[in-house]
Amino acid sequence: MAQGARKFRRMVKPSPSLGLTSDIASVSLLTFFIAALVLAITPGPGIAYVVARTAAGGRAEGLASCFGTAVGGMLHVLAAATGLSLIVAQSAVAFTIVKYVGAIYLVYLGIRLLLQKDRDTPSVSVQAQGPRRALLEGILVEVLNVKTALFFLAFLPQFVRASEPVVPQLVLLGTICVTLNTLVDVVAVLSSARLLASRAARAARARLLRRASGATMVALGTFLALSKREA
């Protein structure tokens, strides 16, 4: 009886390696979430677009544009997942190269943000078109945004394990990114009156968030480039 109990405990005892893998995955996901959140709140063309759309056509039009850019963002995520899964299927070495190139690209984007002048802050001018047109235009604007495609290709693979199914990982991470970006856009739309009220305050906030995002990108890209890569 006692021997059987000991055998059962050995069978159900969690594997140390499994626990370590779980811890690594949790830390990686937390790092990804923090980085994605910082990047989401950084003022850029997306936020400028939805705020301008709100100023032109009201909150309904602004919210419609938010959901439009979200749909366009998810199309980029699906495209990135498909393309990167093909790379993994061809060669693990190629996927590792993609990760290194992506890390370098993140550092480059971070340096650009740190060096960006206030006068370079994007300014968008649009006309009222109604919520339906705003939704469709939001999808089109995001789908045609090459920078979004490049960013997903650089950012998402950094947190993917090539030894596990790649597509579900990329879709999950991409969905988190798009969700955070959309939530920030919605907050920007609902707060558009305050965002448009004071140009000086808006510029100060944009400068602070841009520098925080730039520093995050540089640190993240450097850390990922120097850290041990997992196949």
**For 114-121, which contacts have Cβ atoms below 8 Å and span 24 or more sequence positions?**
114/210, 114/211, 114/214, 114/215, 114/218, 116/210, 116/214, 118/203, 118/206, 118/207, 121/43, 121/48, 121/203, 121/206
Per-residue pLDDT tens over the stretch 104-158: 888 888 888 788 775 544 555 667 778 899 899 999 989 988 888 888 988 888 8
- In contact, 211 and 73? CB cutoff 8 Å: no
Tell me the C-alpha distance between 29 and 38, whole Å.
14
pLDDT over 60 at 36, yes or no:
yes
Lowest-confidence region among 34-38, 55-59, 207-211: 207-211
Average pLDDT estimate for 179-192: 90
Question: What pTM, to 2 d.p., does this model score?
Answer: 0.76
Other Cβ atoms within 10 Å of 47 Cβ, number: 25
Please give the pLDDT value at position 181: 93
The pLDDT of 9-22, averaged and rounded, is 41
- Residues in contact with 53: Cβ distance below 8 Å, sequence separation at least 6, in sequence order: 61, 62, 65, 126, 134, 138
Please tell me which residue, 18 or 126, carries the higher pLDDT value: 126
The answer to whether 34 and 212 are in contact (CB under 8 A) is no
Average pLDDT for the chain: 77
Give the model's pLDDT for residue 106.
Answer: 85
**Residue in 91, 81, 48 with CA at minimum distance from that of residue 66:** 48
Mean pLDDT of 52-58: 85
Do residues 193 and 99 make contact, with C-beta atoms less than 8 angstroms apart?
A: no
- Residue 71: pLDDT over 90: yes
Give the CA radius of gyration of the chain: 21
